[in-house]
Amino acid sequence: MTLFKTAECVTPKHPDKICDRISDAILDLCLSQDPMSRVAVETMGGHGKLYILGEITTKAIIGNHAINAICKRIAGQDASEIKLVQQSPEIAQGVDTGGAGDQGIMVGYACNDNEEMIPQELYLARSLCRYIYERVPQDGKTQVTLDQFNQVQSIVASFCHASEEQLSGYVREWFEEMKLKWTPGECNIFCNPAGDWDQGGFEADTGLTGRKLAVDNYGPAVPIGGGAFSGKDATKVDRSAAYMARRIAVDLLNRNRAKEVIVKLAYSIGVAKPVMAVAEIDGYRTQIDLDRTDLSPKEIIEDLDLRRPIYEKTAEWGHFGNGFKWDEYLNI
């Protein structure tokens, strides 16, 4: 029986990615003025409406004018409504003492499929999406299906303002550039399979922060433990612990010359030390030594330098395998 693996990627102009980028740009604005900012911002937009909601505690000056400037740059329109309040003092009291901003299970992953150390199907879907986006910078998405030998079985590419003929040509060019095996009849290519389209982005669909979790993480083959990343500062372990779990996975992959590593970190709200820290190295499960490795939110933030305005970039093409600090060796 043939076992298939599939992953997708979307462009920065996909409605959900527009919302991710706005949320992270607001976070960056806060951090650029006040590195200690506490931020949890959600964005929803579509059909002429754009809403910014959330909690921000900061010394930064972030009036509606500054937020609308971000919305205009990314979405081409002002916000319809902005409602931002301070972080709940009942949540803040646990974070102020160095505890996690919420409970949750965060997953980190690394494999030796490619230089980005992410599953091959996601690696190829993202590579193709970027290749087409450089030529057609529009709302679009790609999808790649591989067999158990990592041979491409099918490709889907749907892009606004691009014809089926154009996309077919770009897919074949990408095949040649990637030096992939091309066998007509054995690989199915679907370009704009529902027909060519010229209405994309917020004109065609609604978007919401955090809705592309598998795209942001490692594709559907790897479990997702925590919540969304975008719009959250690093006191939220949804983000910071997921980044550290990735860095530990990369380190363990290289130190053990392994094929695949998955790391899981679990936290309680208001508690600094994780309640679980385990790693699976080629299927062998082991505990992470918490006496040697400080995985408190405070230490993670310092280790990865997460109080900088670096986040809008993470929202564009996924949070892992793109050369961020958490993609580097930890040397624990």
| CA 107 – CA 117 distance, rounded (Å) | 15
Residue 90: predicted pLDDT: 56
Residue 280: predicted pLDDT: 97
**What is the per-residue pLDDT across 8-32, written as a single tens digit (0 to 9) for each?**
999 999 999 999 999 999 999 999 9
Topology of 104-113+220-327 in CATH?
GMP Synthetase; Chain A, domain 3 (3.30.300)
Q: Would the CA dihedral through 38, 92, 20, 111 be positive or negative?
A: positive
Residue 96: predicted pLDDT: 59
What one-character DSSP code corresponds to residue 208? E
HSE (side-chain half, CA atoms, 13 Å) at 225:
24
CATH 3.30.300.10 placement within the chain: 5-10+120-201, 16-88, 104-113+220-327
Residue (of 278, 179, 271, 163) closest to 223 by Cα position: 278
Which whole number is the average pLDDT over 146-152?
Answer: 91
Residue 311 C-alpha from the chain's centroid: 10
Which whole number is the average pLDDT over 55-72?
Answer: 95
Q: CATH second-level architecture of 16-88?
A: 2-Layer Sandwich (3.30)
**What is the per-residue pLDDT across 230-268, written as a single tens digit (0 to 9) for each?**
999 999 999 999 999 999 999 999 999 999 999 999 999
**141 close to 288: Cβ distance less than 8 angstroms:** no
**What is the per-residue pLDDT across 69-120, written as a single tens digit (0 to 9) for each?**
999 999 999 999 999 998 766 555 556 556 677 788 999 999 999 999 999 9
pLDDT score of 155 more than 60: yes
**116 close to 254: Cβ distance less than 8 angstroms:** no
| Residue 139 neighbours by CB under 8 Å, 6+ apart | 11, 13, 14, 15, 159, 160, 200, 201, 204
Residue 181: predicted pLDDT: 72
Bridge-partner residues for 320, per DSSP?
none
Angle between helices 64-75 and 15-33 in degrees, nearest 10: 140
What integer best gives the mean pLDDT of the chain?
A: 93
CATH 3.20.20.70 describes domain 5-10+120-201: no
| CA 28 – CA 34 distance, rounded (Å) | 10
C-alpha distances in Å from residue 124, one per residue of 7, 67, 180, 185, 320: 9, 35, 10, 20, 14
pLDDT score of 62 more than 80: yes
Residue 225: predicted pLDDT: 84
pLDDT score of 270 more than 90: no
**121 close to 7: Cβ distance less than 8 angstroms:** yes
pLDDT score of 46 more than 80: yes
What secondary structure does DSSP assign to 257-315, as a single string?
Answer: T-SEEEEEEEE-BT-SS-SEEEEEETTEEEE--TTTS---HHHHHHHHTTTSS-HHHHH
Terminal-to-terminal C-alpha distance of the chain: 40
> What is the share, in percent, of the chain residues with pLDDT greater than 70?
94
Cα-based torsion angle of the residue sequence 204, 208, 209, 215 in order, rounded to the nearest 10 degrees: -60
Residue (of 295, 196, 291) closest to 237 by Cα position: 295
